[in-house]
Chains A and B, each alone.
Chain A
Amino acid sequence: MPRQPLSISTAPFLHAADTTPRIMWEVVYTLLPVWAAAVYYFGLSAILVSLAATAGCLITEKWFAQESRNSLLDGSALITGLLLGLTLPPGFPLWMAFLGGVVAIGMGKVIWGGLGQNVFNPALVGRAFLQAAFPTAITTWEAPSGQYWQVRGTNLALPFYQGQPIDAVTAATPLSQMKFSHEPTAFVDLLLGNTSGSLGETCGALILAAGVYLLARKIINWRIPAGMLGAVALFSGILYLIDPVSYPSPWFMLFAGGLLLGAVYMATDLVTSPLTPRGLWIYSIGIGLLVVLIRVWGGLPEGVMYAILLMNAATPLINRYTRTKIYGHR
């Protein structure tokens, strides 16, 4: 005779193949090529910086997560670590990267109650902390050097020190070049990532490819990149038409800085983006608008991080007030 039902004793007894850990791990796999590109451009430094950030995330998750099961296995802390690493400059001091990881998981996730409970994207929480705490270090960019095995001097700065860049090949990022000296960067360089910038801000083509895969697998919602990139293109396009000299072209706006990384990996974070189709449009177009606003008129060259964090903050409200149109109701 069949055994008595134990816990879930009611239908359905079929389940789709995707589970939460499986979704998270798949995101991790798509991040690996992007990460490899960063290593290709920035060498050993890229590996060290992202390892430090990831270690900060994983250790914090391991020690402080409240779930009784091993929450490292769901892969989400690893995503946070990898993403945080990709937002940092290659010469970033490792101890700072590690600290950023600790804050990302600790303040961005654990105190909210763990996976699924947080309001802000954890990786961006970590990054925002670093930006506030170490404004100089996080804006010290180096051009891709081609010297793979060279560790940048600042990487190894002792805790609480920032270190001095020794090889002096620091370079402005395309965005700050544009902002502060109105100098655009060649499009091909932007697409291939042959520019200075954070680890993951450089190779647009690979991020796009990963995005296409995630869209095809329906892991990320198409409305987010569509709304966000569409809004950026539209608004910067309007500005460019008005005055092509002082405003950057939409192509430049789309491919420079962290916009693609943000549109594919950060804004699309399932947990911190809205649920309803209408909510998703409000959210993604809002991010696009804010990015243009900050980049063009704000004090910072880059605005993706704050734009996403601001709209994250609005998400609970958006969720509450965007209703779906229910079948059979007017």
Chain B
Amino acid sequence: MSRLTGNGNELLTFQHGVHPHDYKELSNQCAIERLPFPDTLTLPLAQHIGAPSKPIVRKGQRVRRGEKIAEAAGFVSVALHSPVDGEVEAIGLFDHPNGQMQQSIRIRTDRFSAQQIAGGQVPDPTTLDRKGFIGALQEAGIVGLGGAAFPSHVKFNLPDDKPCRYLMLNGCECEPFLTCDHRVMLEYAGELLDGLAILQSFVEAEEIYIAIENNKPDAIETLRRAAATSPLPIQVVGLQTKYPQGAEKMMITAILGQEVPSGKLPIDLGVLVANVGTVVAISQYFRQSQPLIERVITVTGTAVGRPTNLLVPIGASMQEVVDYCGGITDDAARILLGGPMMGVVQKTLDIPVVKGTSGILVLTENEVRDLTTYHCIRCGRCLDACPLFLNPARLGLLAKRGQWEAMEELNVLDCFECAACSYVCPSAIPLVQSFRVAKGIIREKRARAKTAN
């Protein structure tokens, strides 16, 4: 049961967290535009968590829009499809958003094609059993579109002893600046509910929640209206605008009032969470025969000419994407993939948009200037910010002294690097930055201890 009482209109939330300005106003009124098909697309084989896909095309081969060009390599892996009619120009190492060179398939777009989906071979979901559905998702190349790019069929492959009681759609989008999920909820409400219905027919949850932060009242309104016409047990839940409300654990706690035990998964509480974009992709696959070949991203930031929500074919060069959005200004200083709180800094825009790209954020010199750091003044603000109730002040001190064991003992491995602590620290101590380092060192030590035994 959710914590909603009465009319279901009250706003739920978790404890702690921070309230950064959300900067959504830059792009939340911009209807989704489609990026014209670029001349070439570069599709890395590793765009998801798990084994990279295996190419099944040759150089020079003609491919159709929606045609499979690489297949899943094992269970934790998904297929990859060509977003355009065109020709395989090369298969080789190209720059990947993770900063490395990765095996990729480069496709040259056919300028004269109408770019219709090839269609065919997609099964009718009503004829499928659960196993067939899982296989279809893997074939469709669908991964979580919230950012982690975890293969959806793995997540939805429920163990028999762990039934799904609550199906939750995550439409929180708590990262400042990002608005792509917001626009998807507004503009793809029909597909969203359809994909949700397909998913529900296989997971058979008792209750369904769509969670949206209340800085998107129009999305709450739209989906409430749409859900009212649906036979499913759907509740659209407004959550307080607070970072990191969209973190899976925080959203679950806000709705159910229960904590996900450390080291366990939401399904241990009977909860299954999907991003709103992911269920839209499910609908598009089964109804329009369109595998995951494009996604909506937000291109934004004060250093972007024309902030935009953009439907982009997977593999499009970020440079082309940003150029389409008015380019970057002269005082641009930092490019981030994702939002300002958890996004990853990029050195270059000569990398492709991948399935896990949710936004491109370009900030100015002014916005990324380093703050003067002071000693910890033990103000306790980081403790009041941490949604996991860790003690970042103490962890920060231990990190400075390199006391990794003590940090492990204080559960630094639970930290999911939301950066709320660094955001509030008045002494500008790089807390989360040092926790990332510490976690890496501790994990490495553990791995080494394991191999030594």
Contact = CB atoms under 8 A, between A and B. Distances in A.
Interface of A: 1-16, 18-23, 69, 74, 113-117, 218, 221, 270-277, 280, 319, 323-329
Contacts of B261: 328-329
A221 B363 CA distance: 34
Given A4-B347, A12-B432, A115 B374 contact: yes
B72 interface: no
A299 to B, nearest CB: 33
Contact of A275 (B374, B383, B414): B383
B267 to A, nearest CB: 14
Contacts of B187: none
Interface stretch (B145-153, B388-396, B438-446): B388-396
Nearest to A74: B374
16 contacts: A1-B348, A2-B328, A4-B347, A7-B370, A10-B345, A11-B338, A13-B336, A20-B374, A113-B375, A116-B374, A116-B377, A221-B380, A275-B394, A324-B389, A326-B411, A328-B249
A274 B343 CA distance: 33
Contacts of A16: 18, 20, 381, 423-424, 426
Complex A-B, nearest 3 residue pairs according to Cβ-Cβ distance, in ascending order: A116-B375, A328-B262, A12-B419
| Residue among A16, A18, A113, A272 with max Cβ neighbours from chain B (10 Å) | A16
Given A114-B375, A329-B414, 19 more contacts: A5-B334, A8-B433, A12-B419, A13-B341, A13-B368, A14-B423, A15-B422, A16-B423, A16-B426, A113-B375, A115-B377, A116-B376, A117-B375, A270-B378, A275-B383, A324-B383, A327-B259, A327-B388, A328-B259
B370 A6 contact: yes
Of listed B368, B376, B377, residue having the most chain A CB within 10 A: B377
B30 to A, nearest CB: 21
A328 B381 CA distance: 21
B220 to A, nearest CB: 25
Contact of B391 (A23, A280, A323): A323
Interface residues of B, number: 66
A323 B393 CA distance: 12
Interface in B2-27: 18, 20-21
Contacts of B49: none
Contacts of B21: 14
B321 to A, nearest CB: 16
Interface in B365-406: 365, 367-368, 370-372, 374-381, 383, 387-391, 393-394
A328 B260 contact: yes
B331 to A, nearest CB: 9
Candidate in B261, B336, B422, B436 with the most chain A CB atoms within 10 angstroms: B422
Contact of B388 (A218, A221, A328): A328
B259 A23 contact: no
Given A69-B372, A275-B394, A325-B389, A11 B345 contact: yes
B378 A326 contact: no
A15 B340 CA distance: 10
A132 B277 CA distance: 70
A321 to B, nearest CB: 12
B419 A11 contact: yes
Nearest to A322: B391
B20 A14 contact: yes
Interface string B224-238: 000000000000000
B256 interface: no
A23 B379 contact: yes
Given A74-B374, A275-B391, A326-B390, A11 B336 contact: yes
Contacts of B345: 5, 9-11
A328 B389 CA distance: 10
A5 B20 CA distance: 23
Contacts of B419: 11-12
Q: Which of B336, B379, B387, B414 neighbours the largest number of chain A CB atoms within 10 Å of its CB?
A: B379
B428 interface: yes
A328 B414 contact: yes
A11 B374 contact: no
Contact of A276 (B332, B340, B391, B430): B391
B292 interface: no
From A9, A21, A323, A328, name the one whose CB has the most chain B CB atoms within 10 angstroms.
A328
Contacts of B378: 116, 270-275
Contacts of B424: 16, 18
Nearest to B364: A2
Contacts of A23: 377, 379, 426
Nearest to A328: B262
B388 A15 contact: no
B427 interface: yes
A10 B344 CA distance: 7
B71 to A, nearest CB: 35
B137 interface: no
Contacts of A8: 370, 430, 433
Given A22-B426, A275-B393, A327-B249, A11 B388 contact: no
